[in-house]
Structure 1
Amino acid sequence: MSDFDSTLANLGINRTGSAAQQAAASSNLGKTNMDQNDFLQLMTAQLKNQDPFAPVDNTQMVAQMAQFSSLAGINDMNTTLKAISDRLNGTSTGDAMSWIGRTVLTPGETAYPRTDGSLGGTIELGADATDVNVSISDANGRLLKTVSLGPQSKGAIDFEWDGTTDSADPAGSGPFTIKAAARNADGGSVSATPLVWSPVTSVTLGSDGSPILTLPGLGQVPVSAVRKIG
């Protein structure tokens, strides 16, 4: 016996009628959930097949309708809340357009200095580390400076560079390549991802409709990769 037949049987209804009615009922075979149409069909069948000398109890009928109404209301509310949550957690094209001209912090290895020549960024550590180092190189790959951050805990660690080389000379206007290396107490390597600040020059739409940011030196970056907005 199918779920649909079981539901009818529980209501005291035998599935009889024309071939069209039989076919319509058979179309519900294999369904595991009841929707609004199923409920209305069951209620109509219940009314049509009730014994005139022993009609369905009004209290029971009202209770059934109240339960269905409550369930329908909860489903509608869940749909609305999900839409609100998606809107709050997501970034619309209009939101992203307002980022043009601002700087964002995102994973990357190419960075440009501030107007005073200094540069800041962040390192994301996958685990605790006893030694973290940030190396800054020029566009030709020549090492300019190594910044030691010492022991650090798992998570995001900010770093600063004054824009001078090991010989205290100005490093120039960049772009610079940022790399990070970290080790744990056993000497093993720890995941270390550099995050750099970059200005947003334009915003486009991806194939899925989500905004894509264009960043100098980094190319096109999805908004989901942005950690902070400056």
Structure 2
Amino acid sequence: MDFDTTLQTLGVNRYSGTTSTTKTDTSNLGKTEMDQNDFLTLMTAQLKNQDPFEPVDNTQMVAQMAQFSSLSGITEMSTTLKAIASKLSGTSLSDALGYVGKTVLTEGSTAYPREAGGIAGAVALEKAATDVSVTISDADGKTLKTLVLGKQDAGAVAFDWDGKNAAGEDAGEGPFTVKVSARNADGAVNAAPLVWAPVSTVSLGADGQPVLTLPGVGQVPLSAVWQVG
């Protein structure tokens, strides 16, 4: 048996042009990124198929091992950072339970009066407007009072109604319907009414995030809360 035959028996191809009949592994076709297993597979193949008369230099081997260690550390660090980010950006159910019994400012059109009478709320403006108004109606749709807020910048614009109708009479216990309108020189401006409502219960939504139940408003995600009273 000659030397080349002996090398082939050991699975070593002395010449780069030698054709291998080993079945090609197609399980990784379509992958666009290398992971730790791929790196280790390449290194093992390199060692297995190196020329025994010209083995990989020790310095190169140490450099490749350092790259592998670095890749492993970066992957683990990335996983850890993602977990931390998820925790920081999310609010657990136990945290959200602290909202029960408090009042929150959120988008809605139904408002209940305060103990002292009247309601407070805000208008969410997409952009600045020259003419902003709030119309408050009773349960039958009858207009009780229109508040003219005039020129306002974009954002949340607070309003306060004393609970009296246009004639100065007590408007009752509600609930009341709040509608808003806004305009500028270009036409209508997107605006939404924001009302204060008490939080009665807290539950988890389908996405696993806390959902607040507000009487007269319904269920709203915690992310929809503008302010906590």
Q: Distance in 1 between matches of 2:151 and 2:73?
A: 54
- The amino acid that maps onto 2:203 is T
* Superposition misfits of 4+ residues, deviation over 6 angstroms: 12-15
User: How do 1:160-175 and structure 2 match up within 5 A?
Assistant: 160-175=160-175
Does the CA contact (< 8 Å) of 1:124 and 1:156 recur in 2? Answer: yes
- The amino acid that maps onto 2:197 is S
Number of the residue aligned with 2:58: 58
Does the CA contact (< 8 Å) of 2:93 and 2:210 recur in 1? Answer: yes
SS in 2 for 1:53: coil
Q: Distance in 1 between matches of 2:152 and 2:212?
A: 31
Q: Distance in 2 between matches of 1:65 and 1:181?
A: 66
Q: Distance in 1 between matches of 2:93 and 2:161?
A: 34
Cα deviation code 1:131-157 (max 9, x no counterpart): 000111111111111111110111111
- The amino acid that maps onto 1:211 is P
Q: CA RMSD in A?
A: 2.0
Q: Distance in 2 between matches of 1:170 and 1:14?
A: 98
Does the CA contact (< 8 Å) of 1:164 and 1:171 recur in 2? Answer: yes
Does the CA contact (< 8 Å) of 2:90 and 2:209 recur in 1? Answer: no
- Name the TM-score, length of structure 1 as normaliser: 0.85
- The amino acid that maps onto 2:194 is L
SS in 2 for 1:50: coil
Structure 1 residues 161 and 15: alpha-carbon distance in aligned structure 2, compared to 1, 3 A threshold = farther
Number of the residue aligned with 2:8: none
Q: Distance in 2 between matches of 1:66 and 1:13?
A: 31
Shift of 1:74: 2.3
Q: Tell me how many residue pairs correspond in the alignment.
A: 214
Which structure is larger by alpha-carbon Rg, 1 or 2? Answer: 2
Q: Distance in 2 between matches of 1:154 and 1:99?
A: 28
Q: Distance in 1 between matches of 2:138 and 2:35?
A: 64
Cα deviation code 1:87-141 (max 9, x no counterpart): 2222211112221111111110011121111321111111211000011111111
Identity rate, percent: 62
Number of the residue aligned with 1:211: 210
Q: Distance in 1 between matches of 2:226 and 2:200?
A: 17
Q: Distance in 2 between matches of 1:93 and 1:117?
A: 33
SS in 1 for 2:63: helix
